[in-house]
Amino acid sequence: MHPTTTVRFAPSPTGALHIGGIRTLLYNYLFAKKKGGTFLLRMEDTDKKRLIPSAEAYITESLHWLGIVPDAGPLQGGKYGPYRQSERTALYQQYLQPLLAGGYAYYAFDTAEELEALRERMQAAKATTASYNAVSRGVMKNSFTLPASIVTEWIASGKPYVIRLKMPHKETIRFYDLLRGWVKVETATLDDKVLLKADGLPTYHFANVIDDYLMQVTHVIRGEEWLPSTPLHVLLYRYLGWEAAMPQFVHLPLLLSPDGKGKLSKRHADQYGFPVFPIAWESEDLTVKEGFREKGYLPEAIWNFLALLGWNPGNSQEVFTKEALIEAFSLERLGKSSVQFDITKANWFNRQHIQKQPAVQWVGYFQTAAAKEHIYPSETEAIAICTVVQERVTFPEDFWKEGSCFFLEPLTYDANLLQQKWNKQTEALLLCFMQALVLLTKWEDCTLKQTLQSVIQGQPLAAFLPILRMALTGRKTGPDLIAIMRCMGKEITYKRIHSFLAQMSNQTAR
């Protein structure tokens, strides 16, 4: 066993990172940091047909936004680099020879047409086993069916070939998953996977095992979609003589759509109107999909939200800082069941983390939005308003949405509310309150509250307070009324009430 806990996140730069991949990344990072270990970033970029040049930079920027810095990776370097598989291709070749020499792998020269014909024959026979396997390999063009001289000749002449793993016939492969316990797979259900493609590049399966071994990875934490591939990886460790150094496996349950019907996908994002990428992604057709960053989610909230989608701390605590998550995290508290994706919970976490920050942090958002309306509050004003509205904010942009009423006088008032609440008694109370405000010499919470109480004097509040709020802000809901008046100041508060009363008087007159 290696002395240092080492995990890796190994994405293929073939597109944007899905939020499920971000959860996998997060669990790897939390586990490494909890154990005082090493977190590696490795680009598995050997699929040249699907490779997107901008995808690696996208992955790097996503990690940067999340505040995750790998201990080793393409940018950081490290003693087991390089950390792009495309830069390690010469290294993989040396590990093919022991497999070929031991009879664990073989050359296959089948064309695409011949492979398709094999698949069709298997389908017609309603075969339940894999297509290219211990039985069918005997009728295909490979180094088991061809004379050695022909194999040598074809290789020398440059005839295209792949190298396949020779899957054992009728064997049970057992491996232990830290989350699921012992897993058993029958080799009859597995095909002879390609290890080296015709373009000379290794497949994911082969390079993955080589790199994990050479980089001394101790734990492979990945999605359950890789569970069917694990028997192949176990065989490679065995055939290469590395079984004693094989990492421990953890296959994470799926993230499901909000309705629980199927794996979360981009289609669900379009259907329900939420992001599934960490940051904005521009696809090859130039369409742009907004990410969580552009929607106004905080990295801390995404950490918190994703961590609890499949893991629980063993108590009722829900809101965690990054540091607290690292301290609390353990593989033992991961769940085995798939988890439904609930964007309303992500919004709730975002609200909690916004409220945990000092109001001054949001002043820039507020002032920038205000400037678009040609309004330029001072920093002192902005801090005061942000403080008042902060408890009602879910996204940073909401600070201006909630706080704009401090600068923009209401032009209209809700007719339904007026019909329900506006009457002679309410009008008299509001007029009396406005007149009492004029006499105030100290504009503070305590004096405003005392004035309000003295005016009401036991009168029912159910009608008066909603009308007062609407007179001041034009809205039916909002922050504490005393805080609103204190923040607006005496002049604006008086003016708003006066304007409201005048408008109501004009409507009555008509």
CATH of the domain at 169: 3.90.800.10
458 Cβ partners below 8 Å, 6+ apart? Answer: none
* 377 and 445 belong to one structural domain: no
Strands (E), 224-379: 248-252, 255-256, 281-282, 288-289, 339-340
Q: Which is the catalytic residue, given 34, 263, 266, 490? A: 266
pLDDT beyond 80 at 286: no
Task: Give the model's pLDDT for residue 440.
Answer: 94
Coil, helix or strand at residue 130: coil
CATH number, domain of 500, equals 1.10.10.350
DSSP symbols for 154-196: HHHHT---EEEE-PPSS-EEEEEETTTEEEEEEGGG----EEE
Residues 348 and 384 in one domain: no
Which one of 196, 218, 245 terminates a domain? 196
Is residue 5 in some structural domain? Answer: yes
Q: What is the DSSP letter of 406?
A: G
Q: Is 307 exposed, middle or buried (0-12, 13-18, 19+ CB in 10 A)?
A: buried
pLDDT digits (tens, 9 = 90+) for 347-371: 999 999 999 999 999 999 999 999 9
Does residue 104 carry a pLDDT above 80? Answer: yes
Listed residues 196, 220, 241: the one ending a domain: 196
Q: Three-state SS string across 64-96, please? A: HHHCCCCCEECCCECCCCCCEHHHCHHHHHCCH
Both 331 and 363 in a single domain?
no
Are both 421 and 401 inside the same structural domain? Answer: no
Question: Do 30 and 46 share a domain, yes or no?
Answer: yes
CATH number at 3 reads 3.40.50.620
Q: Are residues 117 and 185 part of one domain?
A: yes
Q: What is the rounded CA–CA span in Å between residue 369 and residue 401?
A: 9
- In this model, does residue 1 exceed pLDDT 80? no
Rounded to 10°, the helix 424-438/445-456 angle is 140
| Same domain assignment for residues 180 and 137 | yes
- Does 235 fall in a domain? no
pLDDT band at 505 (very low <50, low <70, confident <90, very high): confident
**195 in Cβ contact with 96 (< 8 Å):** yes
Structural domains of the chain, count: 4
- The answer to the question of residue 226 being in a domain is no
Tokens found for residue 390 = 């902060």
Q: Are residues 419 and 383 in the same domain?
A: no
Q: What's the CA gap between 196 and 53, in Å, rounded?
A: 23
Is 34 assigned a catalytic role? no
Q: Which of 397, 370, 400, 389 is nearest to 298 (CA)?
A: 397
In a domain, 80, yes or no: no
Same domain, 401 and 435: no
Asked whether residue 230 is domain-assigned, the answer is: no
4 is a domain residue: yes
Do 366 and 456 sit in the same domain of this protein?
Answer: no
Same domain, 138 and 150: yes
Please give the Cα distance from 58 to 80 (Å, whole number): 23
Q: What is the pLDDT of residue 324?
A: 97
| Position 160 pLDDT exceeds 80 | yes
Tell me which of 406, 440, 464 is where a domain ends.
406
87 is a domain residue: no
What are 428-472's pLDDT values in tens digits?
999 999 999 999 999 999 999 999 999 988 787 788 999 999 999
Residue type, 450: Q
pLDDT above 70 (res 267): yes
pLDDT above 50 for 186? yes
Q: What's the whole-number mean pLDDT along residues 271-295?
A: 90
- Angstrom distances, CA of residue 20 to CA of 339, 340, 341: 11, 11, 10
Range of the domain at 491: 415-509
Give 413-475 as a DSSP string. Answer: --HHHHHHH-SHHHHHHHHHHHHHHHT-S--SHHHHHHHHHHHHTT--HHHHHHHHHHHHHS-
Q: Is 433 in the same domain as 374? A: no
Q: Any known ligand binding at 266?
A: yes
User: Do 389 and 417 contact (CB within 8 A), yes or no?
Assistant: no
Q: Would you state the pLDDT for residue 280? A: 95
In a domain, 81, yes or no: no
